[in-house]
Structure 1
Amino acid sequence: MNKPLLSSEQSVDTAILVINCGSSSVKFSLIQPETGHSLLSGLAECLTTPQASIKIKHKLTPSENEQSETSPLAQPYDHQQALTTLVSKLRSLNLVENIIAVGHRVVHGGESYAQPVLINDDVKATIKQLAKLAPLHNPANLIGINACQQAFKDLPQMAIFDTAFHQSMPEKAYLYGVPFSLYREHGIRRYGFHGTSHFFVANQAAKLMGKSLSQCNLISAHLGNGCSVTAIKNGESVDTSLGMTPLEGVMMGTRSGDIDAGIVFHLVEQLGYSINEVDTLLNKKSGLLGVSQLSNDCRTLEEAMLDPNHPQSAQAKLALTVFCYRIAKSIASFSASLTTLDGLIFTGGIGENSSWVRTQIIKQLSLLNFSVCEQANQTARFGTNGNISTADARPCWVIATNEEWVIAQQSAQLLSK
């Protein structure tokens, strides 16, 4: 039986366990939804392989020094055993009683879910059905849900969907120029991802402006190994760069982003690629990695670019130049979705930490009245938020994202209802 729903008498010490389950990993965080303070976090990775390990960090109060431990794991070590190890650690720290729910990141909710939902058998069946739209992600998310239901039998489990924030997009934004029957019968349309991240940073920007989110018109650029740009009108997503899958849109770490669809036919018919090889090429061997022929890591490429003696210096610069241009072009194109624009947001690992990338993008957006203040830009790194525009330009904020806190907040809100 589930615990009672959240009540006004419950202590601020209550926490939500947030789970982000991949095919061979479990990322977790125990978060106080009111403050965003993470009591415990960690990652179990390389599951079911000899390299399986789990790293757990905990900081029970904001003033306490963070403690960390990494342990190799005996074989066979799967998701269920990773969560069993997590439960043991939570018990040893006397944290189990603080947990009021488990919030799961689920990548694809299709058109079925525009809000967080309490997980039951019907919800699990729908997530499984939607795996055809996210075959690498939804099955892994279900593994995490099933494992948590075994490990935390008495706790309500919530699903928070990456696609939910983008369900406010109008038809003109989400429909493709293909026969309408493909949408009506098979759900082929743009769905978008990174929704929790775009929602979080948009809320933070609203606070910086002293407005409610419903009054804000923004463009948000989530830049990491996966990248997406979203137009936000009156606080709602009205267009986004990622499509039916996370392959569409701007160039990314290993994904190509937008290409001429005819290239796929050319690769298969003229160059002898199999469909699986094309899939691997576009998802895992393209983007920054493919163009640079060096790495998908922006930091590695910036180091190579700035070292004239590096054998891949020119290629690294080319990859980063294409990357920044594609993002700037996407940002500029989304001005068509808005009638006013309050500002631009950079977030994600690259967006938050690469001052060079931000400068190159902003330099190509002068038509939208963006201009970078290099002093502010250099200091906005490693979680330091702020406006990096010059005084006479449109605001451009660097805002550290916190998707786990969104999941914790929305899980707690769902409980309170």
Structure 2
Amino acid sequence: MSAPVLVLNTGSSSLKYRVVDADDGTVAASGLVERIGEPGSRVVHAVDGEERVVEVDVADHEAAVAAALDAFAAHGPDLAHLGLVAVGHRVVHGGTRFSEPVLVDDDLVAAVHGLAPLAPLHNPANAVGLEAARRLFADLPHVAVFDTAFHATLPVAAHTYAVPAAWREAGVRRYGFHGTSVAFVSRAAAAALGRPIEETKQIVLHLGNGASATAVDGGRSVETSMGLTPLEGLVMGSRSGDLDPAVLGHVRRELGLSADDVDRALNASSGLRGLAGDNDVRGVVAAAEAGSADAELALDVYCHRVRAYVGAYLAALGGLDAVVLTGGVGENAAPVRARALAGLAHLGIEVDAGRNDAARGPSSATRISPDEAAVAVLVVPTDEEWEIARQTVEVVTAAAGPTVGP
């Protein structure tokens, strides 16, 4: 590995990790520490396609990073011999302050803590993970890569909400998420088209348990569906997506729900789960095929929302070269892809049934539209860890300055 990076993705009760080469995406090992601070915590460590599961008490995030290091020591590879060049961290929310990846220092950690009101479920855990990793990897540079940073190019009209000035001054605006994923797949899609990304117009549909649409013009985000938080936009596994804000007052009056009750319901009990009782698209598709009216409705609503955003973003872009599907659903759910893009032939968007059915979990960018279609429809596997590693090395290299020759 020429530029190995340890990538850490710290959640409130979990830690995902991967050692990946920033140059070619080669993975030396990956893993997951689950149920941090809870009974039944464990480490799942994968090397060369083989998983090893270790039950271990993980009291906090520092213990989680230490448990991951123990897994490397026990099952390989030897981190000391890999020549790690840096540690890259996924941080969910950078607010308006961070529009690009940055080296981690005490001020950066304090800033991530300070942005917690914008991402209360994510940023506190991200900050704790930063602190723990810096103590355990004190000799390596650390870089924070923000989910929101890719969307810093949104035009003012696209990121501004029509709300009172005091709200806007408090940070209420559209930020957008899934930025590292969109950056990776939009670049891969341009390569698959054989064109510079600066010359392409793309709509990227990141469809997973969380789902978003982004209009990418010349490699820059110009519209995106997620907003202040990841709740806005498309229908998701357990999130409602777009909703009339007057619903909040209505259910408080009619059902006696508090603001916290509504927030939890919209994030955890809505979306596909709210419509069909299952937040997993695979289960919803199976139930619909078995005759469930609720599941059929859930798919109709889900796909209608995707199709509506595609039309809106085509208008925003003023033209379109590719629709790019990624994420767990986008990469694997052929029936959902076909259904979501049905009826758009008049816009040049078509799906070839045979190609679509064959593209289940493709290993590289795969075209599922007819050759003669005006707009390419591509399935592109995302690799956020590789993107984080790549951006991490760019920051570290820039900070080191130019190499002085003899």
Quick check: TM above 0.5?
A: yes
- Equivalent position of 1:301 in the other structure: 284
Matched residue type, 1:386: T
* Residues 330-345 of structure 1: pairs in structure 2 closer than 5 A: 330-345=309-324
2:365 paired with 1:381: no
Partner of 2:341, secondary structure, is helix
**3-state SS of the aligned residue for 1:102?**
strand
Q: How far did residue 79 of structure 1 move?
A: 1.8
Are 1:187 and 2:201 counterparts?
no
Distance in 1, Cα, partners of 2:271 & 2:248 = 16
| 1:137 Cα deviation after fit | 0.5
Alignment correspondent of 1:277: 261
Counterpart pick for 2:20 among 18, 26, 31: 31
Q: Is the 8 A contact 1:90 1:96 kept in 2?
A: no
- Structure 1 segment 47-126 matched on structure 2, within 5 A: 47-59=36-48, 66-74=49-57, 77-92=59-74, 93-97=77-81, 98-126=83-111
> Structure 1 residue 134: deviation in Å?
0.5
User: Which position in structure 2 is the counterpart of 1:237?
Assistant: 221
Query: How far apart are the structure 1 equivalents of 2:102 and 2:162?
Result: 32
In the TM superposition, 1:204-215 aligns within 5 A as 204-215=188-199
Matching of residue 251 in structure 1 with residue 235 in structure 2: yes
**2:273 pairs with one of 260, 269, 289:** 289
Alpha-carbon displacement from aligned partner over 1:209-234 (angstroms, at most 9, x marks no partner)? 11221111100000000000000111
Partner of 1:404: 385
* Residues 87, 151 of structure 1: 8 Å contact kept: no
Q: CA deviation at 1:336?
A: 2.4
% same residue: 41
**Is the alpha carbon distance of 1:130 and 1:364 closer, same or farther for their aligned partners in structure 2, counting shifts above 3 Å?**
farther
The residue that corresponds to 1:166 in the other structure is 151
Q: Secondary structure at the match of 2:6?
A: strand
Distance 1:162 1:261 in 2: 25
Gaps of 5+ in 1: 1-11, 60-65
Quick one: distance in 1 between partners of 2:2 and 2:371? 42
Letter in 2 for 1:31: V
> In the TM superposition, what whole-angstrom CA distance separates every residue of 1:298-321 from its partner, at most 9, and x where no partner exists?
00111111123xxxx111111111
Secondary structure in 1 matching 2:371 = coil
Distance across 1 between alignment mates of 2:70 and 2:36: 18
1:17 counterpart residue number: 6
AA at the equivalent of 2:385? E
Q: TM-score, normalised by structure 2?
A: 0.94
Give the whole-Å Cα distance in 1 for the aligned partners of 2:187 and 2:80.
Answer: 30
- What's 1:262 paired with? 246
Q: 2:120 aligns with which of 121, 130, 135?
A: 135
Give the superposition deviation at 1:91.
3.9
User: What runs of 5+ residues in structure 2 fail to find an aligned partner?
Assistant: 399-406
Letter aligned with residue 86 of structure 1: A
* Range with bigger deviation, 338-347 or 89-98: 89-98
Q: What is the count of residue pairs matched by the alignment?
A: 393
1:346 and 2:297 are equivalent in the alignment:
no
What is the TM-score normalised by the length of structure 1? Answer: 0.92
| Distance change (3 Å), C-alpha of 1:91 and 1:73 | closer
Per the TM alignment, residue 364 of structure 1 is displaced from its structure 2 partner at its CA by: 3.4
Contact kept? 1:351, 1:398, Cα under 8 Å: yes
Q: 1:41 aligns with which of 26, 30, 43?
A: 30
Query: CA offsets, 1:176-198, max 9 Å, x none?
Result: 11123422x21110000000001
Q: Secondary structure at the match of 1:409?
A: helix
Residue 44 of structure 2 aligns to which amino acid in structure 1?
Answer: K
Tell me the distance in 1 between the aligned counterparts of 2:38 and 2:78. 31
- Give 1:90 deviation, angstroms: 3.0
SS at structure 1 position matched to 2:255: coil
CA contact (8 A) 2:3 2:23 kept: no
* 2:293 partner SS: helix
